[in-house]
Structure 1
Amino acid sequence: MSRRRQPGVLLLLTGAVAAAALRHQGPPASCHVALGMEEGRIPDSAVSASSSYEPKSVGPQNARIRQEKNGGAWCPKAQISSEVQEFLEVDLGRAHLITATETQGRFGNGQGQEYAESFHLLYWRDALQRWVIYRDSSGRKLMSGNRNTYLAVRQQLELPFVASRVRFMPYSQHTRTVCMRVELYGCPWTQGIFSYVTPKGDRWSDGQQLEDLSYDGVRDGRFVAAGLGQLVDGRIAPANPEDDGAGRGLAWRPDWRWVGWHNATHQGQPVDVDLELDGPRELTAIQIHALHKPEHGIQVFCEVSVQLSLDGRHFQPALRRPTPAPAEATVNVSVPLQQRVARFVRLQLHFADAWLLVSELALDSMPVPRNVSQLYLEQMFYQQDSALEEINTLDSEIPTEKPAQKRKEIAPATNATGSQQAYVGLVAGGLASLMLLALAGAAVVVVRRGRQKVALLAGKPCGGFTAAPVRRPRR
């Protein structure tokens, strides 16, 4: 916690490197692991149901995929229809990113005849305090189940979600008896993001809505709040969506996995993304995966500003970083945060063109130990303000003397000669300090003027892209 802060440097990764940089926190191989229904890592006490036909034989504890315990599955007491709702619930104990499910009917050593042809999937997260029904990218909430009693069917989730409890709710249009065995796939949720707030996505020229499809919070007016969605599900959107396979030369359009905002909607103002964390965390970096296709009026944000807060009200001075235009169509912008402590993170993404498209945010962080007092946290936080101001002004850190390393007091002089020497030394020290302050001020002025000249030579400063007229995406 007492590491020396280093000057901020913005890293720009592209293509496969960008995907790899985010992959360690997303759903690729490391997040498609069975969570333990089959192997028993999820205990019987964590599996419950709305009812059971016979608790000992076909109770929820028997709903373990590829296992033949007792009656061989969970079977609800009532027959299932479109009007009857029964559920099997799995409590994971803490938040996980869920990427797939697997279901199986009751084989019962060859005696079973029951399975669920389809089901609904519901999930709970403490931040939500309510059950949410899963929907895919097309808005469908009914998931395909089984066609026999023995083959397991895995359902890869198009839109992964964060949950601590998951319910399987069998469904049937016609009244029938069903039984289920299940498994969940995913990984523990380690990013520590409690919720985020963003503006709603805007509409592409052909009517496609570039919004956060899996967002499970509140959709109020132009904003979404108090939830999580596809911006943190670990899935990285492609730069070039697949064509329709018929070679009809359809106009290019972004993939639905991108969340996009139009400059005209925001009148040239930056897009704000506010992250609330699950507690105070030590932040290493934040990574933002963005699209860059200037030929379609889409460019990576020309500048990113990061502000940190402990209470959501007092924010530190913004840490600003320009973003150079990348050579490839997708880019992962990584902003180092030098192990600063915060519970709230505010991002401002500044437009460089008509459109700004983002598919993923990833926060590299670790929780602050619980034995750290609130007073110590606040002291650390406010000490970070001056460091941020120094980095923004000179893009370097001026070494400062730590309180614990103060110079030893000089013994006072005991004669006239010593007093005169001390007086001369004091005057000389004061003059030297004034000269250093003057030089530092001159350096700041030179740096700022130099940056202004560079911006003018580049054509326009970041954030100066006008909202009207706006170049619409080409077909």
Structure 2
Amino acid sequence: MKVLLLAVMVLLVTAADGIEPSQCIAPMGMETGAIKDEDITASSSFEHGNVGPHHGRLRNELDGGAWCPQSAATPDLKEWIQIDLHTVHMITATETQGRFGNGKGMEFAEAYVLEYWRPRLLNKWIRYRNRTGAEVLKGNINTYLESKTVLDPPIWASKIKFLPLSHHERTVCMRVEIYGCRWTDGIVSYSMPQGDKRGTSWEFYDTSYDGHWDGEKLQYGLGQLTDGRVAPDDFKATFYQTNSQQGWVGWKNDTRKNKPIEIVFEFDKVREFTAVHIYSNNQFTKDVQVFSQARVLFSVGGKRYKGEPITFDYIEDRIWETPRNVSIRLHHRVGRFVKVQLQFAARWLMISEVTFDSSVVNGNFTEEEEEEQEEQSSQKDEIAAAGADNKNVVSAVNTPSGLGQYLGVIVGVLSVLVVLMVAVVVFVVIQQRRYKSSPRPSQVPGGCDKAALYREPSMGRLPGSSDYADVRDPEYAVPLQPPQTPRAPPPLHNFLPKPPPVPPPPERYYAATEICNSGFVPPPPPLSTPPPVRLSRQPRYVSNTRTYVGP
């Protein structure tokens, strides 16, 4: 049954609710006009009216029929045409054309380079590189055929530039289009430690990360964890056909000293989160397992993470090695920064994708204040004494106030009072223990015959009865002892509270005293009852009609 449940769990693993690049392929509006003319700018134009940037739309034949820069294209990449999308979009492909101009054009770009910009990305333009590390993209071979290039990895940007490139100086013109969709996941960047190397040939790095890479730390960028592509089941298999890059980002427990892997995600706005999905590897036969525990924390400002973290414990699976999408419910927590901490379960931890289910929350949210360590420093007042010829600076020492002068005396008096109170309590406890352990005299009054306090109960015998012939008179006595009265405690000092008064002896005490003074005469035994009269049975005669009882 356990194996069946695990199999169902693995088979029912569904893809995260993130954007799938294969479905984000729609043209974004250069050809249709959805992108307005004012959102298209350029470094220069040969003639703005005929070949300005607003004419650089794919399959456009109006006026000059393309955008043509003022200077020729060179390897220096001086000229560019820019498209402003205003919000972050996922751009999955680009397409270019030369200037046909109703058969009069002869200019086209054989190659070009892309640069993009988005908020929180180091506040600068980033040069695009594909998974092989190449920057130069293939352009056109003539003025009328389109050339479409799929971007792998995709670009997350709110602005994008096309920079025509030529290895020799030549005049170029371009018509462009971009494909993609709006980035609704809202992730602006994530920061985490860079992956580790396994052996001599397997580097589990986030090679497509476009942020700042400072040796062991990745900051302010996006990469493989958000590209929408899951890695292969076997981390040793080649996932991308065009190169040997891997889809897994992996960390080694030996280099982390058993500390959790911490990933901080930054979003565009404050959001309400319902779930996070982490695509993880579980090849336990190769020392790779899903994380044993995940902790998720939330923050509005990113400086302090308040509130109770959400903790998720994963049940170890050492039966199926299939990678799985681990989903963690986030219970509608709110924040703009999300910190995910993953604890090692084996020697290696590998993940491929992280996606969130979230929605934008409208309202006023205050960022958490950063804890500041206040340093106490003594301040001195400087008094400047002005003289006729020179000026002297005098440092004045603050004198303590009246309360400060007597603070030591007050503390000393309070300490003495506390010591005295402790001594009094100890003395009272010792006296009470001595009183309880001292012997007590008998409570029977003097001169009283103790034998008179006993009486022998008698049991009457039925005379003439054979049933009680073998019963003997018991020989025992029942003592009648009055209750003991406690001895009065020894007197204490006048300043201590007096003990409660001793209650008077009970009534049985007086009864015993009267018995001793007047002489006790035991009561006579009870009279025996006469034996019951037995009637002899009479013979009975039966006739035909009546029954007679004889005398």
Shared fold (TM-score greater than 0.5)? yes
1:344-388 CA-to-partner distances (Å, cap 9, x unmatched) read 21111111222111111111111111xx2336x98xxxxxxxxxx
Aligned length in residues: 354
- 1:147 aligned to 133, 141, 144, which one? 141
Give the Cα–Cα distance (whole angstroms) in 1 for the partners of residues 352 and 178 of structure 2: 25
Residue segments in structure 2 that go unaligned for 5+ positions in a row: 1-7, 369-551
Higher alpha-carbon deviation: 231-240 or 178-187: 231-240
Q: Does 1:262 align with 2:252?
A: yes
8 Å CA contact 1:99–1:161 kept in 2: the answer is yes
Report the equivalent of 1:179: 173
Give the Cα–Cα distance (whole angstroms) in 2 for the partners of residues 255 and 221 of structure 1: 19
Report the equivalent of 1:317: 308
Q: Does 1:73 align with 2:63?
A: no
8 Å CA contact 2:73–2:79 kept in 1: the answer is yes
- 2:88 aligned to 95, 110, 115, which one? 95
Amino acid at match of 1:114: E
Report the equivalent of 2:41: 48
Instruction: Using CA pairs under 8 Å that are at least 6 residues apart, name the structure with larger relative contact order, 1 or 2.
Output: 1
Report the equivalent of 1:156: 150
Report the equivalent of 1:21: 16
Q: Secondary structure at the match of 2:352?
A: strand
Deviation, 1:96, is 0.4
Amino acid at match of 1:173: H
8 Å CA contact 1:124–1:163 kept in 2: the answer is yes
Report the equivalent of 1:289: 279
Amino acid at match of 1:153: S
- 1:236 aligned to 225, 230, 233, which one? 230
Report the equivalent of 2:549: none
8 Å CA contact 1:194–1:276 kept in 2: the answer is yes
Give the Cα–Cα distance (whole angstroms) in 2 for the partners of residues 316 and 232 of structure 1: 27
Report the equivalent of 2:347: 354
Give the Cα–Cα distance (whole angstroms) in 2 for the partners of residues 122 and 111 of structure 1: 30
How is 1:101-120 mapped onto 2 (pairs within 5 angstroms)?
101-120=94-113
8 Å CA contact 2:77–2:164 kept in 1: the answer is no
If the length of structure 2 is used for normalisation, what is the TM-score? 0.61
How is 1:429-468 mapped onto 2 (pairs within 5 angstroms)?
none
Higher alpha-carbon deviation: 233-242 or 191-200: 233-242
Amino acid at match of 2:286: H
Deviation, 1:322, is 1.6
8 Å CA contact 1:199–1:271 kept in 2: the answer is yes
242 and 357 in structure 1: CA distance in 2 versus 1, 3 angstrom threshold: closer
If the length of structure 1 is used for normalisation, what is the TM-score? 0.70
Q: Does 1:306 align with 2:299?
A: no
Deviation, 1:254, is 9.0
Give the Cα–Cα distance (whole angstroms) in 1 for the partners of residues 78 and 277 of structure 2: 42
Percent same amino acid at aligned positions?
A: 43
1:136-159 CA-to-partner distances (Å, cap 9, x unmatched) read 112111111111111111111111
Give the Cα–Cα distance (whole angstroms) in 1 for the partners of residues 9 and 270 of structure 2: 28
Higher helix fraction (1 or 2) = 1
Deviation, 1:255, is 5.3
Give the Cα–Cα distance (whole angstroms) in 2 for the partners of residues 48 and 244 of structure 1: 41
14 and 178 in structure 1: CA distance in 2 versus 1, 3 angstrom threshold: farther
Alpha carbon RMSD of aligned pairs, Å? 2.3
Q: Secondary structure at the match of 1:265?
A: helix
352 and 169 in structure 1: CA distance in 2 versus 1, 3 angstrom threshold: same
Amino acid at match of 1:118: A
Deviation, 1:201, is 1.0
94 and 205 in structure 1: CA distance in 2 versus 1, 3 angstrom threshold: same
Give the Cα–Cα distance (whole angstroms) in 1 for the partners of residues 244 and 291 of structure 2: 17
Report the equivalent of 1:392: none
120 and 16 in structure 1: CA distance in 2 versus 1, 3 angstrom threshold: farther
How is 1:412-423 mapped onto 2 (pairs within 5 angstroms)?
none
Give the Cα–Cα distance (whole angstroms) in 2 for the partners of residues 209 and 241 of structure 1: 11
1:381-417 CA-to-partner distances (Å, cap 9, x unmatched) read xxxxxxxxxxxxxxxxxxxxxxxxxxxxxxxxxxxxx
Amino acid at match of 2:277: Q
Give the Cα–Cα distance (whole angstroms) in 1 for the partners of residues 254 and 37 of structure 2: 55
Give the Cα–Cα distance (whole angstroms) in 2 for the partners of residues 62 and 16 of structure 1: 50
Instruction: Return the index of the structure with the highest Cα Rg.
Output: 2
Q: Does 1:85 align with 2:78?
A: yes
Give the Cα–Cα distance (whole angstroms) in 1 for the partners of residues 88 and 237 of structure 2: 36
Report the equivalent of 1:394: none
Give the Cα–Cα distance (whole angstroms) in 2 for the partners of residues 337 and 212 of structure 1: 26
Amino acid at match of 2:348: W
Give the Cα–Cα distance (whole angstroms) in 2 for the partners of residues 185 and 178 of structure 1: 23
Give the Cα–Cα distance (whole angstroms) in 2 for the partners of residues 168 and 239 of structure 1: 37
101 and 254 in structure 1: CA distance in 2 versus 1, 3 angstrom threshold: closer
Report the equivalent of 1:198: 192
Deviation, 1:72, is 1.1
Q: Secondary structure at the match of 2:198?
A: coil
Give the Cα–Cα distance (whole angstroms) in 1 for the partners of residues 336 and 236 of structure 2: 39
Give the Cα–Cα distance (whole angstroms) in 1 for the partners of residues 307 and 27 of structure 2: 42
28 and 374 in structure 1: CA distance in 2 versus 1, 3 angstrom threshold: same
Residue segments in structure 1 that go unaligned for 5+ positions in a row: 1-11, 246-252, 379-475
Deviation, 1:66, is 1.7
Deviation, 1:42, is 0.4
1:86-144 CA-to-partner distances (Å, cap 9, x unmatched) read 00101111110111111111111122211111111000112121100001112111111
